[in-house]
Structure 1
Amino acid sequence: MADLDPGEHTIDELRDELDDIDDRETLEELREAETDGEDRTGAKEAIDERLDAVDDEGDSDGDESESGEDEESDEEDDENEGSDESAGGGQDGDTVGIVDIRDHVQQNASDLIGRPLDGIVEIERTDDGWRALTEIIERRSVPDTQDILGRYALDLDDSGRIIGYRRLERYRRGDTKRDEEAPAGG
């Protein structure tokens, strides 16, 4: 483990590195290193996913630490994914659910666009896959109500890979007139 520093990798690169790690203890150390370092949500989620995969593969190292809280969390995730997959159209694992899309967008939007993700505004199923609307911080200001945000549409295929994106608009975070005008236009 000593050679892998999660902070030196993008989230996608980290995922590739994690695929080769089957030791639960090493993965937990990596998660702690990420938390103490850059503390990226996407990186921690990637490590958690690998931990879950290692647990599912029957890696029984540390069975005592796997009980309790982790099992409850896994059960909640399974319940949420089931409802999301039925909303997204697939339950056999052939297509991804809305939670998978959300996680993928959270993990990759910043790296793709080159600016920090502020939030995901909307995710919808399309004929060709998925579309996610995100808000990206294009310029930070003090106070933060003066931040300049960009609203981006990300197009994803059925498997959840981002296949395109575009900026739809830019606006100030504190611009409430935008929100008031939206219902009249729709």
Structure 2
Amino acid sequence: MTDDSKGGTADATAGGRCDIATVMRRASGQLADLLRCEPGSVSAVKGTGEGWSADVEVVELEKVPDTMSVMATYHVELDAEGRLVAYERVRRYARGQIDRR
């Protein structure tokens, strides 16, 4: 078996559920393919009863200098095997912006 990071099964556990590192790769790779945007990072991953949820940061609009690039956070849902089943943009921001909490 091979893993193409887009739904392959090489990294699935015996029960068919992917490990967290595989989910992170698949979430960013599949979302980048759909949006045609460069993935930045996966900022959160959580197991759910049916699979996984993750927050993926992507570069939506590249600018010069880098700090002016437009980034977005997408919340994605994946099934137990790491296939993307839903996504939603939840935030847009300038790359250099820092959250204040």
Aligned to 2:97: 175
Identity of aligned residues (%): 28
Provide the C-alpha distance between the structure 2 equivalents of 1:103 and 1:149, rounded to a whole number of angstroms. 19
Of residues 20, 26, 46, the one that matches 1:104 is 26
Say whether 1:128 aligns with 2:27.
no
Provide the C-alpha distance between the structure 1 equivalents of 2:90 and 2:29, rounded to a whole number of angstroms. 21
Provide the C-alpha distance between the structure 2 equivalents of 1:136 and 1:106, rounded to a whole number of angstroms. 8
Say whether 1:118 aligns with 2:18.
no
Q: Contact between 2:29 and 2:39, CA under 8 Å: does it hold in 1?
A: no
Aligned to 2:59: 137
Q: Which 4+ stretches in 1 moved above 2 angstroms? A: 91-94
The root-mean-square deviation of aligned C-alpha atoms, in Å, is: 2.4
Q: Unpaired segments of 5 or more residues in structure 2?
A: 5-9
Q: Decide which structure has the larger Cα Rg and report it.
A: 1
Q: Structure 2-normalised TM-score?
A: 0.81
| Structure with more helix by fraction | 1
Of residues 157, 161, 164, the one that matches 2:83 is 161
What displacement does 1:93 show?
Answer: 4.0
Residue-by-residue CA offset, 1:86-131 (whole Å, 9 max, x unaligned)? xxxxx52421111121121233221012211111111111122101
> Which structure carries more relative contact order (alpha carbon 8 Å, separation 6+)?
2
